[in-house]
Amino acid sequence: MSDAGASDSAGAAAGLAFICGTCGKRYAAEGDCPACPGSALLDLRRPDVQELLKDIDDRARRSRDQRWLWVGVAVAVLIIGFLNLQPFWQLVRRSTITLMALAAAGIQRLLMKLFPARRISPR
């Protein structure tokens, strides 16, 4: 068995032409995935299957990005809210929303780097 991160040529060379769309594990023979009950193995040699796997990866990436965005917003709201309690920050209260947005974007980027999306499509 090969991992989902293996390249398409490496999988084909090893004779692993079938992939599970749920877990991303590759197999040599078609049928059902032994690890995922009810999940049929997909033929990697078909272009429509490769497009389907890319679409699954894109949706997973967008979902992960959205989740980390909301985590970033929550953390930014807490940080900026705490900083606004201090007398020094009373001068910059007008820019609170801008600061929260910048902090949320920075936190989201950091979390996306630390926790990359799982890929199952061959690339």
> Burial of 81 by CB count in 10 Å (0-12 exposed, 13-18 middle, 19+ buried)?
exposed
Who contacts 59 (Cβ-Cβ below 8 Å, separation ≥6)? none
* Full-model pTM: 0.55
Per-residue model confidence as pLDDT tens digits over 50-108: 898 899 889 988 998 898 888 888 888 887 777 666 665 565 666 677 777 888 888 88
The SS3 call for residue 22 is coil
**Residue 71 Cα to chain centre, angstroms:** 15
